[in-house]
């Protein structure tokens, strides 16, 4: 019995090693360039505590297969991501991300990341962020103001190994099969 469990664990480990894929990194950098108002206010407020010149940074880890020149990628291709303005994280569970890699594979032809309403600091409790290939916007629905900024994005291919989704699913099915086989032997 112990030999069967060890064999199963070894086979699963070999399967996962053999089915790894590479992930590339898209790096974003920029800063706040302006403040405007979406409400009837004649002059916009401080845009939720953010200020002109404040630095934006972001990383998007995408499987390599989705970073070929001209490829369209979406949430299913993303391994991990992080967007921040200063010390404030601009990510939440309602984020939707997609884009198209440019013809030379070094940048983005188009890109859109949208985070659903969330708290981006004490002054931005009900805010959303919209991030594009060359700019971003954070809108405060309570005060009616928003900040805008300029961005640049660069692709850094092949930075990390991640398990391929099909390999993990196959390993899980194999383990389920071995568990059912074990139950039959006990019966």
Residue 142: name the closest of 128, 153, 161, 157 by CA.
128
Task: State how far the Cα of 147 lies from the Cα of 36, in Å rounded to an integer.
Answer: 6
3, part of any domain = no
Both structure tokens of 33 = 């360039």
Task: State how far the Cα of 21 lies from the Cα of 65, in Å rounded to an integer.
Answer: 8
173, part of any domain = no
133, part of any domain = yes
121, part of any domain = yes
pLDDT of residue 46: 58
pTM: 0.68
Which parts of 43-95 fold into alpha helices (H)? Answer: none
Which residues make Cβ contacts (< 8 Å) with residue 137, sequence separation at least 6? 129, 130, 146, 147, 148, 149
pLDDT of residue 114: 94
| Tens digit of each residue's pLDDT, the chain (187 residues) | 555 545 544 444 444 444 445 779 999 999 999 887 666 555 555 556 788 899 999 999 999 899 999 999 999 999 999 999 998 998 888 889 999 999 998 999 999 999 888 888 888 888 899 999 999 999 988 877 889 999 999 998 664 444 444 444 444 545 445 455 555 566 5
pLDDT of residue 27: 96
184, part of any domain = no
Q: Which residue has the tokens 């010390």?
A: 87
14, part of any domain = no
Name the β-bridge partners of 55: 31
Backbone phi and psi for residue 16, each to the nearest 5 degrees, phi listed first: -65, -40
177, part of any domain = no
175, part of any domain = no
pLDDT of residue 17: 45
Structural domain total, the chain: 1
Residue range of the domain that includes 72: 21-167
pLDDT of residue 183: 57
Both structure tokens of 111 = 């890109």
């Amino acid at each position: 019995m112990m030999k069967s469990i060890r064999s199963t664990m070894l086979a699963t480990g070999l399967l996962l090693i053999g089915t790894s894929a590479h992930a590339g990194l898209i790096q974003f950098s920029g800063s706040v360039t302006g403040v405007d108002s979406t409400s009837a206010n004649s002059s916009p407020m401080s845009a939720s505590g953010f200020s002109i010149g404040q630095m934006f940074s972001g990383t998007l880890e995408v499987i390599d297969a989705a970073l070929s020149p001209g490829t369209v990628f979406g949430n299913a291709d993303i391994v991990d991501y992080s967007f921040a303005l200063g010390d404030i994280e601009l990510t939440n569970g309602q984020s939707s991300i997609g884009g198209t890699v440019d013809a030379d594979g070094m940048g983005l032809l188009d890109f859109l990341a949208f985070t659903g309403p969330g708290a981006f600091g004490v002054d931005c409790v009900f805010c959303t962020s919209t991030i594009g290939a060359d700019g971003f916007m954070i809108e405060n629905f309570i005060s009616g103001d928003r900040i805008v900024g300029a961005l640049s994005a660069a692709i850094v291919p092949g930075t990390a190994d991640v398990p391929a989704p099909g390999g993990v699913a196959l390993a899980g099915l194999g383990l389920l099969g071995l568990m059912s086989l074990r139950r039959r032997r006990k019966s």
